[in-house]
Amino acid sequence: MNKGLFSEKKKAVIYCRVSTEEQAKEGESLASQERKCKEFAERNGYEVIGKFIEKGESGRNINRTQLQKLLTCCSDKRNEVGAVICLKEDRFARNAKDATATEYMLFKMGIRLLFTSGNNEQTASGKFVRGMNNVIAEFESNVNSERTIAGLAEALSKGRWTRPLRGYSFQKNVEGKKQLFQNEDAPFVKKIFDLAEKGVYSQDEIRRQMEREGFKISKQALSMLLRNTVYCGLLPDKYNKNGGEYIKGIHEPLISEEQFFKVQAILDGRRPNIVPRKRNNPDYPLRGYVYCYDCNTKMTASRSKGHTKHFYYYHCKKPHCNAARVQKKVLENAFKEYLHNLTIPLPIIDLFEKCVITKFNEKTHDITLQKRHIEREIENLESNKSDLIQLSLRKIFDEEDIKKEMDKIKMQIQEKELMLQELANGPDVQACWDFAKNVLLQLDKAWEQGDLNFKQRLQGLIMPAGFTFKENLVKPIKNPYFLSIFQQKTGKNIEKGG
Ligand SMILES: [Zn+2]
């Protein structure tokens, strides 16, 4: 999971730590730690660009200035640090709370934390925390977006689309609000819809054609672009302000509604075409995670038409494989049942709680700083206001000008006060922790309610190597990444991974 975040940077820094008492012992000495780390780096193709050696002076008061320096070095993008190498976990952190906070920081910077001892993939709990970091990061961005939702909903109900869209740029409209206006990419986007409307090009072919014409677009971006109703002037009613109906956008559409819906029909297979169906289909969350029990090939999914309705299946994609196809419902229910029967030991939950709270304390600190900043600005504006009153009393300037200036300042103060109010509804640790705990304790429900992205992350966290399915049994495929953290309650339909 999350492979994309960790780039192939092959530079590393070394971190060693020893207390005075330990210095004497063979095998723990700094020289030996450093040597082991260097050897490890060499074996794994890392170039060591820095070492940070912590000598515990008194054992009691360890400031760990070297660790701070290491983090500073890592955070400088120019250093291109891809990994931190350390002897083992107890060298790196004194306790779980420290480890979690520091690991989270490295994780956010896309830096691996590697230990030379043991097999290099870290302990199960470390792995788990890293996986859950994904979930927290996701939740965090949800919380942040909720704060601006009120403003976005307001804009949307008035037909203003506020998210970036290829082919358009934002400019101020006559009311001074930001609005979409077509830019130099608009003809390319139009061409994409024209090509798709023909129904004879695959999305890959469209992509290549556009690239030849100088317009680069990723696979996923193209498939999302073709589904985006905003191009024909219809805004999805995301905040339910219009009874779920589309809202008419005030921007100039790139294509007609007619053309847009024709393209949708082609994409959905309601019209003859040779365009392959979208890969990342929310209808089949388990695609790519379930393997054929017979030939070990990744299973794919599709639907077939019955007399009156469609039937959805997962099936092996290897030609001539004898494995039977499985109904979507059957497989997904078995998977949910499997999740339902997983438990997580309480110490892990405790560890995770620490992780969440550390994270949110950081966040709260940031917000306090922001608040203070805004409050100071308000103070400045207030003092400007009283200066202005003084000026007006002395009748040096034109009354009209003073009034204008005064209105401007009052507006600015109002805006800042609104910002303060928004900040006051800051992140709620309890809500975050409840969310996380809910996910952990009710994996099946969390999976069921999550969107495709969340489902795939959770699947990847629990069974990184996927699973097989036979005779109603979900059987995880074990590999070194398989988490031993999740334990199974006894019950039917459950089998230990093997
Ligand atoms: Zn097969």
The DSSP code sequence of 17-47 is: EEEHHHHTSTTTSHHHHHHHHHHHHHHTTPE
**What are 68's two structure tokens?**
């701070």
* Triad 50, 53, 58: Cα angle to 5°: 165
CA of 471 to the centre of ligand 1 (A): 15
The stretches of 213-342 forming alpha helices (DSSP H) are 219-226, 257-268, 328-340
Handedness of CA 284, 290, 291, 294 (dihedral sign): negative
Those residues with Cβ within 8 angstroms of residue 181's Cβ, 6 or more apart along the chain or in another chain: 168, 169, 170, 171, 251, 252
CA of 325 to the centre of ligand 1 (A): 9
Q: Are 69 and 81 in contact (CB under 8 A)?
A: no
CA of 289 to the centre of ligand 1 (A): 14
Strand pairing category for 467-470 and 290-291 = parallel
pLDDT of residue 2: 36
CA distance 475 to 394: 85
CA of 316 to the centre of ligand 1 (A): 5
CA of 394 to the centre of ligand 1 (A): 90
CA of 328 to the centre of ligand 1 (A): 16
pLDDT of residue 337: 93
CA of 318 to the centre of ligand 1 (A): 6
CA of 178 to the centre of ligand 1 (A): 53
pLDDT of residue 132: 59
CA distance 491 to 340: 10
Length of the chain: 498
pLDDT of residue 145: 53
Residue 176: how many CA atoms within 13 Å on its side-chain side?
A: 0
User: What is the CA 453 to chain-centroid distance, rounded?
Assistant: 9
Q: Quick count: other Cβ atoms within 10 Å of Cβ 358? A: 16
**Residues less than 5 Å from ion ligand 1, measured at CB:** 292, 294-295, 297, 316, 318, 321, 323
The stretches of 158-304 forming alpha helices (DSSP H) are 186-198, 203-212, 219-226, 257-268
CA of 211 to the centre of ligand 1 (A): 36
CA of 323 to the centre of ligand 1 (A): 5
Those residues with Cβ within 8 angstroms of residue 138's Cβ, 6 or more apart along the chain or in another chain: 453, 454, 457
CA of 319 to the centre of ligand 1 (A): 8
CA of 483 to the centre of ligand 1 (A): 26
CA of 493 to the centre of ligand 1 (A): 21
User: What is the CA 273 to chain-centroid distance, rounded?
Assistant: 34
Q: Identity (one letter) of the amino acid at 227?
A: R
Q: Which residues of the chain have pLDDT under 50?
A: 1-7, 57-62, 119-122, 273-278, 491-498
CA distance 335 to 165: 37
CA of 297 to the centre of ligand 1 (A): 6
CA of 291 to the centre of ligand 1 (A): 8
CA of 219 to the centre of ligand 1 (A): 28
pLDDT of residue 423: 64
CA of 304 to the centre of ligand 1 (A): 19
Backbone angles phi, psi at 185, to 5 degrees: -80, -10
Those residues with Cβ within 8 angstroms of residue 368's Cβ, 6 or more apart along the chain or in another chain: none
CA of 160 to the centre of ligand 1 (A): 50
Q: Are 249 and 234 in contact (CB under 8 A)?
A: yes
pLDDT of residue 104: 67
CA of 165 to the centre of ligand 1 (A): 41
Q: Are 91 and 62 in contact (CB under 8 A)?
A: no
**What are 61's two structure tokens?**
């008061």
CA of 324 to the centre of ligand 1 (A): 8
Those residues with Cβ within 8 angstroms of residue 214's Cβ, 6 or more apart along the chain or in another chain: none
Domains of the chain as residue ranges with CATH: 3-122 (3.40.50.1390), 159-268 (3.90.1750.20)
CA of 83 to the centre of ligand 1 (A): 39
CA of 482 to the centre of ligand 1 (A): 23
